[in-house]
Amino acid sequence: MKRLISILVCLTMLLTFAYAEGNTYTLVCPSGAPAVTVAKLAEQNPDQYRFIQADLIAAEFSNKEADFIIAPINAGAKLYKAGKSTYVLAAVVTQGNLVFASQREGFTMDDIVAQKITLFGENTINASVALYVLDQKGIVPAETEYLAAAAETQALLMTDAEAIVLTAEPAATAAKFKNDKITSIPLTEELNLLTGRTGYAQAGLFIKAETLEADPEGVKAYLEQVKANIAEVSSDLEGTAKAAVALEILPNEKIASAAIPNCNITFIAGEEAKELVEFTASIDLKQFGGEVPADEFYYAEK
């Protein structure tokens, strides 16, 4: 009997992946840590995956061309609440890839006290989480400056030996390969120590409602495929690194192998992610449109 059950389970899994592999779904995603979550899938089916600059992602929700979008969860929630998006949250795929970094010798969080810091993304959830951690630790900087993107704070980090910046993985690891004086402190680790949690709801995989309505079984199969692929990010780090380099997400396999484990890649499905999303929203509700997302914002398997 046990053998029969095992065979049936295996057959079900094979049919699920065969269904998923036969789809023609399209996915758009910002480059960097979010892109690593689907790198191996994209390498296998490059015509179905498109990587773009982060500041272009919001437009993808309104043009509704892609079946799936990977994007900041708060951005997707805000657009959904405003009636500018039909995309629902299928899964959380990253739980925080931000770091505080500096070339200062022996750099620690305490070095931020009464010092100037440079964050990226003023009035974004990334800046809100960074400021929340500092506030909860009782750390008050002398001045807070903002640049537009993590690439700009990383450039400052590389050129100014006294700068203290907020940047992100995998760029932070790449910077450390170029300059061994750089010390980085993962923001998620600091947040976890304060809250007893495992990160926050950063990037999510969104599914277009029209695609879900037209092909619920296909969507279910595809999500299983993405979930399995994300599990392989750590179990097959070499393969993931090779795919990330082939797609020009990361510069080389040595940096990729070092950086990917720091990207906090995960898969927390739809409704299961609700509590984590609501915690993240509580840090700064205005980043979520003034309130926690409604129940219908979360994908529920039917």
User: In CATH terms, are 24-94+200-297 and 98-195 the same topology?
Assistant: yes
Looking at residue 45, its pLDDT comes to: 95
Looking at residue 17, its pLDDT comes to: 44
Which tokens go with 78? 């805000």
Looking at residue 21, its pLDDT comes to: 53
Q: Which residues pair with 203 in a beta bridge?
A: 72, 94
In the block, residue with structure tokens 């389970």:
9
Looking at residue 47, its pLDDT comes to: 96
| pTM value > 0.85 | yes
Q: How far lies 263's CA from each of 14, 35, 36, 98, 147, in Å? A: 30, 11, 9, 8, 21
Class of 24-94+200-297 per CATH? alpha beta
Angle at the Cα of 163 from the Cα atoms of 160 and 167, rounded to 5 degrees? 105
- List the domain boundaries for the chain: 24-94+200-297, 98-195
CATH architecture of 98-195: 3-Layer(aba) Sandwich (3.40)
Which tokens go with 90? 């299928």
- Counting as low any pLDDT under 70, the low residues of the chain are 1-22, 302
Cα torsion for 44, 47, 52, 57, to the nearest 10°? -110
Closest CA to 179 of 148, 202, 208, 157: 157
